[in-house]
Structure 1
Amino acid sequence: MQARKLRRFEERAADRLVFFSDAVVAIAITLLALELPVPEGHTVAEFRSAVRDDLGHYLAFVISFAVIASAWGQHNRVFCYTERTDTRLRMLNAGWLLTIVLNPFATKLLTTEGDDVETVGLRFGFYALLQFLAHAAVIAMERRMTSHDLRAPDVPPELVAAGEPVLYGVLLGFGLSVPLFFLTSYAWVLWIVCPVVAGRLPRSRPAATGGD
């Protein structure tokens, strides 16, 4: 009876961690939209011109929305079968949340003026570094759960590792782009190419089990 009650308390703690993380992600995405400039104009032509002038802001919003959604998807995958938490896992999750709440600020940096190589490298490099750290935190949390048996014991390994190729592709893309932004402003292409290539790599299939 005592063990069953303890398990229930542990599951409740894990649920609270997930609910809190989901709320923070929702707030971060909402803040992205609040930063969008409202186009002005008394005619259709003026309105279209205002939209074109702020196109960079809208593109940065779409990129950050997709990035946060991807990070949340990986976080959801990792925590989907979690039954317990520990101090280290909560600290790693707090670090992950820090990268999420900094996204609106980093997105704003992408749209600030300054076209010289060093300025672009700093602005885009910081953004890429932030996403690299976010996905690295997901990997660290995944490793912590595996090494300390924080998941349900009957979870098939192939379900836990289902998103790993794309996760490592995103990590590689953002990581490689950080130094490259000081050489070219087109380093952001790696943000797209690496995850796509990683997602198409062949995955090892679980061994088939014979019937009774």
Structure 2
Amino acid sequence: MSESDRPEPGFSPERLAFFTDAIFAIAMTLLAVELERPDEQELASTRALGSFLVHERDSYLAFALAFILLWSVWRRHHKLMDRIGRLSSAFTAWHAPFLLLVAFLPFPTAVIGASATNPLADTLFAATMAAMVCCEAVIREISHRTGLTTGDPADTRHQADGSWAVGAWFLLSAALAWLLPYAFVLWFLAPLASPYGGALISRLRGPHPESRDVNAPRP
């Protein structure tokens, strides 16, 4: 690589991708660390252990939910970083709140695991996830507006629309937590909001200017 091709110090896409992967890996591991372990009395018999596992079922459900959601967000970010040719100050800066929320997620996960029917606990989790995916959407918006990605910029904007849709899904469904117990189970469907809700938002925003036919007559 020639000197002219080297990124500025602090703006290496590979280093940012590696650091982001590490934060996700730690957060996903901490989800399991937060799970309650049986003590000696609960391990003394099959019945006691069975009662313990049944009592902790909400924690396991919350763990599975958070792991699936983090996996989904990581996969989308991984695909984005594979298309990033360079970084900008704004793109890099927005990773700070994004990764802060990723690292924070094990806490609201433990809270809903301990009190799954508490609407405030569900709201805390939903607000964290909504803020996280909205940061993700902003990162995608920056990447397509400033030309940081390779390929079709319209595709990058469509992916940003998918992130906005997931954020909206969490905010809207959080209201159900105040009406229905175990409403957080709906969040297992959150990844589906990206393709379907994203398509709706893309339609409302209209076509990306750079994706229009260059031979089409101008108004």
Pair 18,200 (structure 1): closer, same or farther in 2 beyond 3 Å: same
Partner of 1:28: 27
> Matches of 2:6 and 2:16 in 1, distance apart?
14
> Matches of 1:108 and 1:84 in 2, distance apart?
37
> Matches of 2:17 and 2:108 in 1, distance apart?
24
Where does 1:33-112 land on structure 2 (aligned, <5 Å)? Answer: 33-39=32-38, 40-112=42-114
TM-score w.r.t. structure 2 length? 0.77
Pair 134,114 (structure 1): closer, same or farther in 2 beyond 3 Å: closer
| Structure 1 position 87, deviation (Å) | 1.6
Partner of 1:147: 145
Q: Aligned pair count?
A: 198
| Structure 1 position 169, deviation (Å) | 4.0
| Structure 1 position 27, deviation (Å) | 0.6
| Structure 1 position 172, deviation (Å) | 2.5
Q: Which amino acid aligns with 1:68?
A: L
Pair 48,177 (structure 1): closer, same or farther in 2 beyond 3 Å: same
- Structure 2 gaps of 5+ residues are 204-210, 213-219
> Matches of 2:12 and 2:180 in 1, distance apart?
46
| Structure 1 position 71, deviation (Å) | 1.3
Partner of 1:171: 167
Would the aligned equivalents of 1:82 and 1:150 in 2 still touch at CA under 8 Å?
Answer: yes
- Structure 1 gaps of 5+ residues are 208-212
> Matches of 1:38 and 1:157 in 2, distance apart?
48
Partner of 2:121: 123
Classify the secondary structure of the residue corresponding to 1:82. coil
Residue-by-residue CA offset, 1:65-117 (whole Å, 9 max, x unaligned) = 111111111211222211111221112111110110111111111123485xx
Percent identity, aligned pairs only? 26
TM-score w.r.t. structure 1 length? 0.79
Would the aligned equivalents of 2:91 and 2:142 in 1 still touch at CA under 8 Å?
Answer: yes
| Structure 1 position 164, deviation (Å) | 5.5
CA RMSD, 1 decimal: 2.9
Pair 181,202 (structure 1): closer, same or farther in 2 beyond 3 Å: closer
